[in-house]
Amino acid sequence: MTAALVAEGVRKSYGDVTALDGVSLEIDPGEVFGLVGPNGAGKTTLVRALTGTTEVEGEISVLGSAPDRVEKSQIGLLPQSFSPAGRLTARELARQYAGLYDEARDPDAVLADVGIDGETAEQWYETLSGGQQRRVCVAIALVNDPDVLFLDEPTTGIDPAGRRALWGLLEDLASGGTTVLLTSHSMAEVERLSDRVGFLCDGRLAARGPPRELVESHGGRSRLLFETDASPTTLDVPGIGYDVSARNGHLVVEDVGPREIGDVVAAFENQGVEFESLTWKQPDLEDVYLELTGTSFEEAER
């Protein structure tokens, strides 16, 4: 199978700042690839490189062509911080961008897909809420029914219900064969939508793979957190020994399986440790992010 997107040794610098430092990746047709990383890690620069809107060193191929040669109707882009004309209505904006293609979807249908219809579609863009504005921007990116879709932080500012509606839409697109490159700071979003995730740190792809595999290899152990003022350093549970650490008002017991939670709680009570609440947390992509970006648990909990 020919990859939909290929980047090989992509480098980009802005003056002395290296934005991309030899990034290589391949994304298959119909795959949803989530790109995550800290601010300034190079995510937007990589999207720009793949869409041909910035010049880079290295090889890039989009649907088998160089980014500036690819048939424009086959790609859709939602740039980060994209802001269309404020005094056009949502419907006018969708029509404007639909009018740039030989064939485009019905603008009203695309707007309806992202939850913009009725009177909302007749409102000026600048009078819409931040979440509605972002939905209109997503509609603009979808109006040409692209084969490859680049979404740079598509759900920023969208409320939870709207976000879930967009996730459903993107899942439908992916199941229909659309290749999606998604950047986001929401690990839940990336974990839910992505077939594979790439972690970009300091311009390099530090890790990539299916979310579950990344969590297994980089996510660390499960944790049981007790909110308490006590500070024991060991905990005796019959048959099992646990190391206990105190972090920011919590006692943290690591590598506790769900069936062992009751034993650990009982052990605490037997030792006379009082606690306000407890939380059991399995490792997830956020832990992978913290591990790969070198952010400590303590820093993240602050």
Partner 1 sequence: MTRLGRISAEFTASWHAFLRRRTAVFFTFFFPAIIVVIFGALVQTQPTGGGLFAEPKGYYIAGYLAVVVLFTPLSRVGSTVARYREGRRFEKLATTPLTRVEWLLAQALVNVVVIGVAALLLLALSILVTGTNIPATPATLLVIPFVALGVVLFCGLGAIIGRIADSQDGVIAASNAIALPLLFLSETFVTPDLLPAWFRPALGFSPLTYVARGIRAVTYADATTVALPNLAAVVVLAVAFFVAGAYAVPRTD
Provide the total of helices (H) and of strands (E) in the chain, helices listed first.
10, 14
Kindly list the residues in this chain that would bind partner 1 in the complex (CB under 8 A): 48, 51-55, 72-73, 75-88, 92-93, 95-104, 124, 140, 144, 150
Among residues 170, 182, 194, the alpha carbon closest in space to that of 44 is found at 182
- Shortest CB 76 distance to partner 1, Å: 7
Among residues 66, 48, 60, 118, the alpha carbon closest in space to that of 90 is found at 118
Among residues 70, 61, 63, 57, the alpha carbon closest in space to that of 23 is found at 57
- Shortest CB 222 distance to partner 1, Å: 41
- Shortest CB 293 distance to partner 1, Å: 25
Three-class SS of residue 88?
coil
In this structure, the number of other CB atoms found within 10 A of the CB of residue 201 comes to: 18
**C-beta of 73 vs 245, nearer to partner 1:** 73
* One-letter amino acid for residue 145 of the chain: D
State how far the Cα of 201 lies from the Cα of 208, in Å rounded to an integer: 12
Cβ-contact 56, 22 below 8 angstroms: no
**C-beta of 11 vs 95, nearer to partner 1:** 95
Three-class SS of residue 167?
helix
**C-beta of 93 vs 265, nearer to partner 1:** 93
Q: Which helix (H) or strand (E) holds 61?
A: strand 57-62
- Shortest CB 17 distance to partner 1, Å: 13
**C-beta of 55 vs 59, nearer to partner 1:** 55
**C-beta of 100 vs 161, nearer to partner 1:** 100
CA gyration radius for the chain?
Answer: 23
**C-beta of 15 vs 160, nearer to partner 1:** 15
- Shortest CB 272 distance to partner 1, Å: 59
Among residues 61, 51, 143, the alpha carbon closest in space to that of 105 is found at 143
- Shortest CB 170 distance to partner 1, Å: 18
